[in-house]
């Protein structure tokens, strides 16, 4: 599983790069990594099927996503193809893997690279805290979830950071028409 995690991380970082399929380019490397991920999933699926066939699953939790995909059939009794199972597993792994932590890490990175942004964020937060401190509310001065709607600059910073570095990958794109700019 650790090997799969490493390959998934390498793939997720490289798919946002230019689609140049030549050695040394990130896209080329992502295609090689993709093949490795599929090979690892082949092994995992084969091991799970073997365990199920030999009845060795009785000691483990019987309802995990892979077991469900392997054992559940549609209303006609047809089981999901291995190709579809692997596609679903990749989808679950990718969507669930580190999106939030990647987003937070990139937001912190961009703020750290721009001291003037950090300074303005601190000023925005301090002004809200000072306003709250002047009131007679219990817990005055502490920022709450309700204060988020008043943090206009923070919202702009978050949007810009996510625009510059989305936490999830985009699909591979292929140009179908040449475009010339004057």
Q: Where are the domains of the chain?
A: 2-96, 99-164
Q: Please tell me the predicted confidence (pLDDT) of residue 80.
A: 85
The count of C-alpha atoms lying within 13 angstroms of the C-alpha of 140, restricted to the half-sphere facing its C-beta, is: 10
Cβ-count burial of 15 within 10 angstroms (0-12 exposed, 13-18 middle, 19+ buried)? Answer: buried
Q: What is the pLDDT of residues 67-98, one digit of tens each?
A: 888 888 878 888 888 888 888 888 777 766 66
Question: Inter-axis angle of helices 26-54 and 2-14, to 10 degrees?
Answer: 150
Q: How far is CA 37 from CA 2, 86, 118, in A?
A: 12, 10, 39
Q: Please tell me the predicted confidence (pLDDT) of residue 88.
A: 82
- Residue 79: phi, psi to the nearest 5? -90, 160
CA distance 66 to 90: 11
CA distance 62 to 41: 19
CA distance 79 to 73: 4
* pLDDT band, residue 1 (cuts 50/70/90): low
Question: Residues 136-142: what's their mean pLDDT?
Answer: 60
- Contact between 66 and 85 (Cβ < 8 Å): yes
- Contact between 141 and 129 (Cβ < 8 Å): yes
Question: Residues 157-176: what's their mean pLDDT?
Answer: 75
Sign of the dihedral defined by the CA atoms of residues 89, 103, 11, 43, in that order:
negative
Overall pTM > 0.75: no
Question: Residues 127-142: what's their mean pLDDT?
Answer: 71
Q: Please tell me the predicted confidence (pLDDT) of residue 168.
A: 66
Flag whether pLDDT at 102 surpasses 70: yes
- Contact between 71 and 49 (Cβ < 8 Å): no
Flag whether pLDDT at 58 surpasses 80: no
CA distance 94 to 48: 20
Q: Please tell me the predicted confidence (pLDDT) of residue 121.
A: 93
Q: What is the pLDDT of residues 6-51, one digit of tens each?
A: 777 776 666 666 666 777 777 787 788 888 888 999 998 998 888 8
Q: Please tell me the predicted confidence (pLDDT) of residue 154.
A: 93
Q: Please tell me the predicted confidence (pLDDT) of residue 18.
A: 61
Cβ-count burial of 21 within 10 angstroms (0-12 exposed, 13-18 middle, 19+ buried)? Answer: exposed
Question: Residues 50-71: what's their mean pLDDT?
Answer: 75
Compare 134 and 156 and report the one with higher pLDDT.
156
Compare 156 and 51 and report the one with higher pLDDT.
156
């Amino acid at each position: 599983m650790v090997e799969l995690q490493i390959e998934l991380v390498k793939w997720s970082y490289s798919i946002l790069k230019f689609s140049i399929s030549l050695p040394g380019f990130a896209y080329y490397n992502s295609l090689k990594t993709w093949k490795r991920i599929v090979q690892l999933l082949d092994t995992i699926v084969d091991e799970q099927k073997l365990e199920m066939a030999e009845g060795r699953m009785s000691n483990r939790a019987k309802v995990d996503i892979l077991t469900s995909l392997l054992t559940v059939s549609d209303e006609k009794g047809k089981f999901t193809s291995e190709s579809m199972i692997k596609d679903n597993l990749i989808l679950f792994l990718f969507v669930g893997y580190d999106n939030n932590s990647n987003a937070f890490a990139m937001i912190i990175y961009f703020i750290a690279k721009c001291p003037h942004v950090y300074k303005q964020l601190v000023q925005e937060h301090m002004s809200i805290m000072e306003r709250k401190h002047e009131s007679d509310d219990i817990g005055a001065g502490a920022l709450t979830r309700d204060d988020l709607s008043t943090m206009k600059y923070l919202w702009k910073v978050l949007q810009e950071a996510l625009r510059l570095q989305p936490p999830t990958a985009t699909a591979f794109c292929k140009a179908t028409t040449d475009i010339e700019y004057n």
